[in-house]
Structure 1
């Protein structure tokens, strides 16, 4: 790619996503910008070519602050990285497009589904995606035997493993919860992340599962790519269930020995384990840059099986 035509990219809520930043550099992005609430304390922001401070993603003026960065720096692609900013970006995507920038986000209807975990299970289940039995708090309290015990609980609008709990019996439930919760059949077995890429027409072009060998703080620390026809078939059903989805998504699966594979989470963004997919040949960052430059889509499903990622701690030093 000609250096003068390399598109500037902005990684939003960059935090610790240094590996994602590096993937876009490797893919041929031009100046790589990053923004965060406190860029001075963000490793990815310190490693970016330029860093910007923005309000919290749920604060008034967040989208407008990012628009100003896009306008002033000729940004061509904005890449959200956390669930809580997706709604703001989906609603403002048209305004960014008017500035010549694509926001990597699915349409507002898709984001509304994936940001509500109960609705996610309903929509996926109706499309034939295997999901765990799920109840709202009211449904579970009305019929405590409907799921069997123990049950797995999580906030309906949660993210980043916040508020997860297991309850062994009805008597263990607290009298109330601080936010809406959902309850599911507790699953056990190997856990997989499936990273998928849908082109601008919504066609599924790549599905790359990796076995989560070890996790830390909800993010894969050790993983290995693995081809499985059943997970590929589930990926096609997930894509069909979310017709407004575009670009990169990932979903989580537990392969329970009693129930079989069950999808329990969908994230409409780059997942934390994307660097493994990228190294294995599923180069989503490259394919997004192809799209914004109007080049033919090179997305494919020819990634390498058996690629292992072993993460380790590193540091950025200031002063």
Structure 2
């Protein structure tokens, strides 16, 4: 049995993700030790679920990377898995420093992160590659353009996540004068929403694309979902890979099948998505395939996942004291 140490960053509530890695490790004959870190590990459920937890500064703090490197060095970490969007950029920039310590950071190159962390650039890059995307304009462009608008539209932070700061704007007069951060306006789509999880191997080959319908969503994360096998979703995943040829590992994108515009991809997350446990349950063992890559084992990645797998998430708790 091979030993491997994993560090889950900004662990928060990602207990299910840790459990996925543990099941995958056992199935692949890997003795996995799980470390987790967070700004407040004493208040993090995932840190309670880990074998050991650590305090780290927020990902925008100058000491964030240094603290992560120290944990990696002290405990022989071989794989670092980020879980939130804001930490992707600093970790991507620091990949060579982690590699010097023998650790792989599960993150795409900075060129990819710069695109997916900017909603306007995301739709521009995807659109040039033929991916269907919603009409998206900057806040300044919306203010200055005198032509017809597609009102109502969604106002979103350029680098937002987890549905933070999103609201409907029904006319040009409702546009904010001085928002706290850069914003974009995006076509208000109506129809069923889907997430497509993707696994791209180290050579840049798309090995799997598994879609689930987002039946219920809470705080931007799927709460109830069902896998659906539809050729359209695989085709869109292939187009996303063409648009982002340097992307690697696990990522996901979201789309809505709009009643009039058809499919529109509006967001790409270059990390494990919150609904990933459904993909693993359905047979797309991305956690296991990632562990095998890090361990130097032959790839067994495939696209033979189960259609119609259902996930109904619920809250659980850790108690102490």
TM-score, normalisation: structure 2: 0.97
- 3-state SS of the aligned residue for 2:225? strand
From the superposition, tell whether residues 168 and 6 of structure 1 become closer, same or farther in structure 2 (CA, over 3 Å). same
**Structure 1 residue 274 and structure 2 residue 276: aligned?**
yes
Give the match's secondary structure for 1:45. helix
Match of 1:82 in 2: 84
CA apart distance, 1:144: 5.1
Shift of 1:6: 2.6
Q: Distance in 2 between matches of 1:218 and 1:82?
A: 13
User: 1:140 touches 1:146 (CA, 8 Å); kept in 2?
Assistant: no
| Equivalent-residue separation in structure 2 for 1:206 and 1:188 (angstroms) | 27
Q: 1:88-237 to 2 correspondence within 5 Å? A: 88-143=90-145, 145-237=147-239
Contact 1:250 1:268 in 2 (8 A): yes
Tell me how far 1:176 sits from its aligned partner.
2.5
Query: Which residue is 2:5 aligned to?
Result: 8
Q: Which residue of 1 aligns with 2:19?
A: 22
Match of 1:307 in 2: 309
1:317 aligned to 304, 316, 319, which one?
Answer: 319
Asked whether the 8 Å contact 2:40–2:55 carries over to 1, the reply is yes
The aligned counterpart of 1:287 is 289
4+ residue segments displaced more than 4 Å: none
Q: CA RMSD in A?
A: 0.9
Deviation at 1:210, TM superposition (A): 0.2
Shift of 1:145: 4.0
Deviates more, 1:160-169 or 1:135-144: 135-144
- Partner secondary structure for residue 239 of structure 1: helix
How many residues of Structure 1 are paired with residues of Structure 2 in the alignment?
316
Q: Give 1:185 deviation, angstroms.
A: 1.2
Gaps of 5+ in 1: none
Deviation at 1:146, TM superposition (A): 4.4
Asked if the contact 1:150–1:168 (Cα under 8 Å) also holds between the matched residues in 2, the reply is yes
Where does structure 2 lack aligned partners over 5 or more consecutive residues? 26-30
Superposition pairs of residues 39-58 of structure 1, within 5 angstroms:
39-58=41-60
**Which of residues 280, 296, 299 in structure 2 aligns to 1:297?**
299
CA distance in structure 1 between the aligned counterparts of 2:116 and 2:78, rounded to whole angstroms: 25
Q: Report the counterpart of residue 28 of structure 2 in structure 1.
A: none
| Larger CA deviation: 268-277 vs 24-33 | 24-33
